Structure 1
Amino acid sequence: HRRSHGLPGTSLAWGSWERTSGMTAHLTRADHDRMARAGLRPLTDEQGLEFFDGALAVDLGQVVTATFDLPAIGRSGAVPVLLRGLVRAPRRTAVGADSGGAEPWTERIAALAPDARERSVLASVIEQVAQVLGHPDPGAIEPDQAFKSLGFDSLTAVEFRNRLSAMTGLQLPATLVFDYPAAGAVTRYLLDQVSPAPAAAGPDDDPDERELRRVLERVPVARFREAGVLEALLKLAGPDPARTPDAAEPDEDGLIDAMDAEALIRHVMDGTGA
């Protein structure tokens, strides 16, 4: 506001301070650890004074006075937009963080037996939960224990999702923790991404039926009509006559009506009905 009127004015956006104050007294060790993993270093009193003097020496309306651990930001897997000019984000791949770049995480997990696959993914998910919460014992975290009861907040949820994305190489939804609110639920979601459930078998999965349909598509309708089998084919395409109470029995001369679909097609292709 002052600068818009031609007056001097500088707004300072301070980072986290090392010294405990009224604004930071509520932060826990887990909060400080999370900020450190995100690349935000606490300011000492000496650094704060140095940054204050430096901000006054530049003619800018807004100055960020904070210290950053740029390598840590790069490792976090999600570089903030404002810092992308300072940090080159690692190239996103489907290689898990713990694989050493040897093999994509999805392939390693998919290659395991179903039981081992679930155990491995669940252990990795719980390990990430423990990391973001600063929990000393991952084994104490139950698969069905709600994230909210464990102490998750919005910042923890974002970090957890980003860490899983970096580990798996998968594009995970921003609402992951809210859609899947426990380690077990997240595990099942990840397993679905690795090995989606096979589609239910349909009629087209029968090779004989596929071949029959291909033959039918190649024969002009006129040939069915000329061979006298069109009506019989249409009947076959309708309700099953055997299940119709008032279905009439074929007479002795109704040989065509008694043929199945394969016999009818052979009848047409051989020209025996011409």
Structure 2
Amino acid sequence: MVEWLINRGARRLVLLNRDVADGAKQERLEALRRLGAEIAAHAVDIADQVGVERILGDLSEAGHQLGGIIHTAGVVQDATLGSIKEASELEHALRAKLQGTLILDNASRRFSPDFFVCFSSVSALLGMKGQAAYVAANAAMNRIVEGRNAEGLPGVSIEWGPWAETGMASGLDERLRKRLTDFGLLAIRNREALERLESLCASTGTLTAAPILWRRFCKKQYGQTPAWLTPLSNVQKNPQAANDDEATDPLARLFGPVAPSERSQAIESFLRGEVARVLGIADPDCLPMDEALNQMGFDSLATIEFRNELAKTGIKVSLQKLVMGASIAEIAADTETQVTAAVGGDADGEAVPTAPFLADSAQGYDKSAVIIPRPKPDAPIRLIGFPYAGGGPLVFQRWIDRMPDHIEFGILQMPGRSARLEEGFWMRMEDMVDGIVPEMLPFLKEKPFAFLGFCYGGVQAFEIAQRVRRDHGLEPEHFFVAGGRSPQIYNNDQFAIDVQQFNHETGKSEHELDESAFVEMLKEVNFANNKALFEDPEMRAMMLPIIQADYEINNAYRYGSHPPLDAPITAIGGRIDPYVTGDHIIGWKEHTTKQFKAHFCAGDHFFMEHQIELLTRIVIENLQPVVQRLAAEGERQLAG
């Protein structure tokens, strides 16, 4: 939840929890602080009125405005209604939900927060056997929020179903999980829940967010469908629709005539054909089922084309999932669930909206800091590519097959990119270096390495190279940069020039621009993959915050002072690059004690997208002496 808030712009957060001293929690807090937020954690019970009011008072005295409240605390207490003899037996469950919500409501009124979000439970709507106290606590929370609304105050109470990966339900054993599923209460995955939360934050009243199989629930809970649930339990797919010539569901028309026993194979064959068409491959059967599409040649435009073509057939696939690394096999499994819903449903005659308590498939993606698309254990050197601002591993997709056997190619995968899309990203260079270096170390210690940085990735690679040399005694064998300013150019005078040159009308740096102005600026510099970013709303919503965050790091960075690298530096610039001039490229000469080379080629700031042949040739030629030296050293070691 904290990471979600930071990713949406929160820069000062106050956390209240009964236990903040736990080592694992402290480590997590430090990691979150490195994302660029100021986080204060207080050990206080939310039902402690004095403690809560003291903390809010301290915020007020410090001049801070309370922007909003999200109340997630809750305690389960097993008890049936008949077993409760004394009011005190309800207290444990009521403290967080009833007392805690009342205290937050009263204490926050003088601050006029913009939002007041409470995490209630679907149990308040449906009831839950053996959880009388918990049901009462959530119902009380709902009423408090509705009371706020009656007074014209913001507030929403969300009756959540069980979350699959976090929260109370995630810790249930398999028996209890199965019991919930048998009752028709399915888990909502974290990503889906956060998407719902974003859409509900500004709402009012009591709202429910829970995937429920209503007919199954009614059968288990009541034996028959009560009148008040009849409209919901009657919403189901017509099992005969797939055989009806007038069926309007394209999935039913496409796969309905296929026998259930042959459906999986038919779906896989269809998807293989679509992938082959997008990639221009003649033989779909040669495509691997388990390899990520973004490792098979899908760039952002191909990804959007694939999603759009599937949408025409009724197949819904998340663009985020494709960007993170979905395979044909994974898409086929999701498609089969959709087809089942379209042509009939499960044994109860209902379409299953989501699989119960399945871990998000994204957990299986490669979330390493360095991706090695084609491992070459015998290669003597590893070249690691650093993408430009907002870029991920796809930036270097066309480099993978161009590397010879003696160069193993790795690609930096920062949080917020590709398989790590759901992770928070950094806003300051120092925080980035602090966070990413420990993740990169295993890849730097395995074998000699070289760095290649595109644009902002150049100075990023430089700061990481300096840190690993200082703290770990490791240094790249060669340092390449394309379209990147030398570090000393990052100073206040140059920053003022940039604002004047590129944002004269607003007087703001790029990351401070509103969305429309920021997009226009990217268009002016011919930002790579601009068609995918500018023309697709889903891609734009996903990627724009990451690009803005990288621009913020770039604009806030100021070079201090480092000793020059003991590695040759090769710098390449574009002849008509308005952002990185010849002086900026030649400036890299100051940062090496070894040989320096400069090359200039046709193109603007993103020339690296169109000069792959030239760039790969420069890299391979300059690494050749290194490879020969390393091979000779290896032979001497064997001889010795």
Q: TM-score of the superposition, structure 2-length normalised? A: 0.14
| Structure (1 or 2) with the larger CA radius of gyration | 1
Higher strand share: 2
Report 1 or 2 for greater relative contact order, CA contacts < 8 Å, sequence distance ≥ 6: 1
